[in-house]
Amino acid sequence: KMRLVQQHLDSVIGDSCPNVSIDIASRTVNLDAPLAFEGGKAQIKEEDHFKMSQVGKIIRTLYDTLQMFEWPMIHVQFDGHVQPTGDDEKCEMISYFRAAEVVDKCRKAGVPKKYMHAFGYGGTRTLGDKNLNRRVEIHLIKDDAGVEKSMHAARALWSTITNTYLH
């Protein structure tokens, strides 16, 4: 089943998304380089709007493919990360809103929001290079238990954000 989905995605997408790929077997959406965000903000830099369009196209094509086969949609996890600055709560909030921004762009590409989940890790999962730390990783959630875990974690994070910053 997964191989059939991958084959169909590859045939539909072809070379139209040179900066983004999807690997159903490893459950990842891979970007050739992280999306560039405005410093300290959730806004994607204009120079990466084309790459964000490719992300939206790939997630939308996954949705359309599964609809065509009449299979349930695979939920997608968007994990935001930032370069740690010392203010853990602010880092967590910015990372969440960056992930939420990518979700919103995919929603605008035609993917129902109920299948996409944003989360922010702040600066807790660094990769060493500050430019690599400013990223949104995209994974396909394996099963219903993973979806529930993602939703629970996001609700808890949102509660923290609203209680800390939005009052």
Q: What is the pTM of this model?
A: 0.90
List the structure tokens of 36.
Answer: 């560039």
Torsion of CA 97, 99, 100, 106, to 10 degrees: 150
Q: What is the block-wise mean pLDDT of the chain (167 residues), using blocks of 10 residues?
A: 93 96 96 89 94 97 95 93 84 93 96 94 80 87 88 86 72
Amino acid at position 125, single letter: R
Q: Give the integer Cα–Cα distance in Å for 123 and 121.
A: 6
Q: Would you state the pLDDT for residue 125?
A: 84
Q: Would you state the pLDDT for residue 58?
A: 97
Q: Give the integer Cα–Cα distance in Å for 13 and 65.
A: 11
Q: Would you state the pLDDT for residue 124?
A: 84
SS3 of residue 110 by DSSP? coil
